[in-house]
């Protein structure tokens, strides 16, 4: 029988994972989602055909997995209110909340729990996410497989063996969709200055990013080699790449991603203090 999975929160992230699970054949009757008001839940119930519940404690009473998918700022109150119900059942806790350490969640929920902490990204909403996962020592092999199955429903899953590495994951994939969106903005502006209609430049830039990612993922060759394959000697690409290298793009990425990982560490400290 499929594991009973309860989502605390029925917003963007929860709906994306639930939608992916259903698309990959997970039985709807084994999925429950919660929210404080039924107004939020009615569309989820109608669209996804899963169970819904406004009482978190009741919703975890028969859960094998509890997915924490509310905003980090309200997590303490949400966890405190369902602590007894969680302790009575001891399900696997899977958190998609940015920044909250596994140990903090475990203690807010009463201690001695298997906790998987996940750093997802927003392309999960279109089934093309990338997530880093960390398991605390209480998580069993079977629970790891289950967490992988749930998150693979919305994209790529990579496990890290040290929780602090989720800060690096935040820099490489959690925050990274925004780096590419910035690049699209810059390419659209530059394309428009070169005379293209802005929307044409936008579509060409986005399709090119999509194509480059697909090509790199399908190829055995490292990205550097694929890059050189586009660069005819003395040609146009070589000129553009020279500009990007001379302007210090590699250094800029290094600095931006270091700052991102550092902020993830600070946030974990701030959120864990309660």
Ligand X SMILES: NC(=O)C1=CN([C@@H]2O[C@H](COP(=O)(O)OP(=O)(O)OC[C@H]3O[C@@H](n4cnc5c(N)ncnc54)[C@H](O)[C@@H]3O)[C@@H](O)[C@H]2O)C=CC1
Ligand Y SMILES: O=C(O)[C@@H]1CCC=N1
For ligand X, the binding residues (CB under 6 A) are 8-14, 34-36, 40, 56, 69-72, 74, 78, 96-98, 119-122, 174
Q: Which is nearer to ligand Y, 104 or 170 (CB)?
A: 170
Residue 65 site contact among ligand Y, ligand X, none (CB < 5 to 8 Å, cut-off depends on kind):
none
Determine the Cα–Cα distance for residues 208 and 11; give it in Å rounded to an integer: 31
Point out which residues bind ligand Y (CB under 6 A).
98, 170, 174-175
229 is in an annotated binding site: no
Q: Which does 69 bind (CB under 5 to 8 A by kind): ligand X, ligand Y, none?
A: ligand X
For ligand Y, which is the closer residue by CB, 52 or 170?
170
Q: Which does 4 bind (CB under 5 to 8 A by kind): ligand X, ligand Y, none?
A: none
Q: How far lies 273's CA from each of 104, 115, 142, in Å?
A: 8, 18, 31
12 is in an annotated binding site: yes
* Residue 72 contact partner, candidates ligand X, ligand Y, none, CB within 5 to 8 A by sort of partner: ligand X
At its nearest, how many Å lie between ligand X and the CB of residue 190? Answer: 27
How far apart are alpha carbons 121 and 169 in whole angstroms? 10
Q: Determine the Cα–Cα distance for residues 200 and 185; give it in Å rounded to an integer.
A: 13
* Residue 268: CB minimum distance to ligand Y, A: 11
- Which H or E element spans position 13? helix 12-23
Pick 37 or 224: Cβ nearer ligand X? 37
Q: In this structure, how many other beta carbons lie within 10 angstroms of the beta carbon of residue 176?
A: 18
Which is closer to ligand X, CB of 34 or CB of 143? 34
Quote the least distance from Cβ 37 to ligand Y, whole Å. Answer: 25
13 is known to lie in a ligand binding site: yes
The one of ligand Y, ligand X, none whose footprint includes residue 272, by CB under 5 to 8 A per kind, is none
Q: Look up residue 103 and give its DSSP letter.
A: H
List Cβ<8 Å contacts ≥24 apart for 187-192.
none
Q: Would the annotation count 121 as a binding residue? A: no
Q: Which is nearer to ligand Y, 32 or 175 (CB)?
A: 175
Nearest to 52 by CA among 26, 86, 15, 80: 15
Is 174 known as a binding-site position? no
Q: Are strands 51-53 and 65-68 parallel, antiparallel or unpaired?
A: unpaired
**Residue 8 assigned as binding residue:** yes
Tracing tokens 């490489």 back to the chain, one arrives at 172
Q: How far is CA 254 from CA 110, 248, 257, 259, in A?
A: 39, 10, 5, 9
- Residues belonging to the binding site for NADPH are 56
């Amino acid at each position: 029988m499929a594991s009973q999975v309860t989502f605390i929160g029925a917003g963007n992230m929860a709906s994306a994972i639930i939608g992916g699970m259903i698309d990959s054949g997970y039985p709807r009757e084994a999925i429950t989602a919660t929210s404080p008001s039924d107004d939020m839940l009615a569309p989820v119930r109608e669209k996804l055909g899963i169970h819904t519940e406004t009482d978190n404690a009741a919703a975890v009473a028969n859960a094998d997995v509890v997915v924490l998918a509310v905003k980090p700022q309200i997590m303490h109150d949400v966890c405190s209110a369902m602590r007894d119900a969680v302790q009575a059942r001891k399900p696997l806790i899977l958190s998609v909340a940015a920044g909250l350490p596994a140990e903090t969640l475990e203690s807010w929920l009463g201690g001695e729990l298997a906790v998987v902490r996940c750093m997802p990204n927003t392309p999960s909403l279109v089934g093309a996410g990338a997530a880093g996962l960390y398991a605390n020592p209480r998580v069993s092999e079977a629970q790891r497989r289950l967490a992988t199955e749930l998150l693979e429903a919305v994209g790529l899953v990579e496990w890290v063996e040290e929780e602090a590495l989720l800060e690096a994951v935040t820099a490489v994939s959690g925050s990274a969709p925004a780096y590419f969106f910035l690049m699209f903005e810059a390419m659209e502006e530059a394309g428009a200055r070169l005379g293209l209609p802005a929307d044409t430049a936008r579509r060409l830039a986005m399709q090119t990013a999509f194509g480059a990612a697909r090509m790199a993922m399908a190829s055995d060759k490292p990205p550097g080699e694929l890059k050189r394959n586009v660069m005819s000697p003395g040609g146009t690409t070589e000129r553009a790449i020279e500009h990007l290298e001379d302007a210090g793009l590699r250094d800029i990425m290094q600095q931006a991603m270091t700052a991102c990982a550092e902020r993830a560490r600070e946030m974990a400290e701030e959120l864990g203090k309660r």
